[in-house]
Amino acid sequence: MFPNNRLLQIVLLISLILASCGSNTENVAETPAANVSTEQMVPPFRYVGHVDAEHADFYEYTREDGKTCTITGAMFAGMSVSVSCEGDITALFIQQKGFRYIGNVYQGKIYVYEYTRDDGHVCTYVSGHGDGTRTDIDC
């Protein structure tokens, strides 16, 4: 009857198929805010701080052997976590205090930061951005 009847049928069929798939957002849990207050943390973990430019949050807990471990979680094109238990890492970098931006390497994909602990040791935090995110801490 209409010259574009076949095209209309194809478009309607595709629309029905897509509609039957449903929304993929109704079962997705909300991601918690990056800056979690210390009141919301469950012991033994403590929220330490955040580096906005790296979408990274830092947490601490004390092991049975007395060493304080820092856990880093970063969300940037993927999830990355790292941990360092090199002695007593203190909360010097709460709300980015104590972090020093050093620069970046590897065509701008790896960012380097430093902070100094109370005991005088300098820790290096690196965050890499490529097809995902990778973070690491070394003291």
pLDDT in tens, 6-52: 655 665 545 545 444 443 333 223 333 444 444 466 778 888 777 77
Q: Using alpha carbons only, what angle is made at residue 30 by residues 110 and 111, rounded to the nearest 5 degrees?
A: 10
Is 76 a member of any domain? yes
Is 65 a member of any domain? yes
- Partners of residue 80 on adjacent β-strands: 74
Number of domains in the chain: 1
Q: Are 38 and 45 in contact (CB under 8 A)?
A: no
pTM for the full model? 0.43
Is 88 a member of any domain? yes
Is 115 a member of any domain? yes
Is 57 a member of any domain? yes
pLDDT in tens, 3-14: 556 655 665 545
Is 35 a member of any domain? no
Is 62 a member of any domain? yes
User: CA separation (Å) from 121 to 25, 51, 79?
Assistant: 46, 20, 28
Is 15 a member of any domain? no
The DSSP-derived string for 85-136 is: -SSB--STTGGGTT-EEEEEETTTTEEEEEEE-TTS-EEEEEEEESSSEEEE
Q: Using CA atoms, how far apart are residues 132 and 137, in angstroms rounded to an integer?
A: 17
Which residues span the domain enclosing 129?
43-138
